[in-house]
């Protein structure tokens, strides 16, 4: 997808000081990709938005089980995860959502930073 065909409402969700976010900010800026940044800590995604992302990408791709928020949950919260439980956890603890999430509407939803996927989606250099 080239920059000119990006949806007007391309939004990047995450936490500003996260390393993956910093890489994504730098890549998007270097490749001239316009976006609106939404900080999870100031405006958490709604339950409906999380359900939409889960439908489009799968809840396992959204749930960050490698971070400090996940490790800070008690064992009962981490046990027997299914989609409903994962979505409830994501709604209650937005920092459990993998970062960044770039949502450009039905045709574009990316999770995590991957320069090659970004290049394919946005027509950039991949660096």
Q: How far apart are CA 45 and CA 49, in angstroms?
A: 6
| Residue 17 CB-density burial (10 A; 0-12 exposed, 13-18 middle, 19+ buried) | exposed
- Residue 18 annotated among the catalytic residues of the structure: yes
Q: How far apart are CA 85 and CA 74, in angstroms?
A: 14
Q: Which of 25, 77, 82, 83 is nearest to 53 (CA)?
A: 83
Question: Which region holds residue 126: left if phi is over 0, alpha if psi is between -120 and 50, else beta?
Answer: left
Instruction: Point out the catalytic residue in the list 18, 38, 51, 73.
Output: 18
> Which residues carry out catalysis?
18
């Amino acid at each position: 997808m080239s920059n000119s065909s990006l949806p007007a409402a391309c939004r990047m969700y995450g936490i500003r000081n996260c390393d993956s976010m910093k890489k994504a900010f730098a890549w998007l800026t270097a490749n001239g990709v316009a976006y609106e940044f939404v900080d999870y800590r100031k405006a958490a995604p709604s339950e409906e938005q999380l359900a939409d992302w889960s439908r489009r990408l799968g809840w396992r791709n959204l749930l960050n089980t490698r971070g400090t928020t996940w490790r800070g949950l008690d064992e009962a919260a981490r046990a027997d995860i299914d989609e409903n439980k994962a979505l409830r956890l994501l709604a209650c603890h937005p920092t459990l959502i993998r970062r960044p999430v770039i949502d450009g509407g039905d045709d574009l939803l990316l999770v995590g930073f991957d320069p090659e996927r970004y290049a394919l989606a946005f027509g950039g250099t991949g660096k």
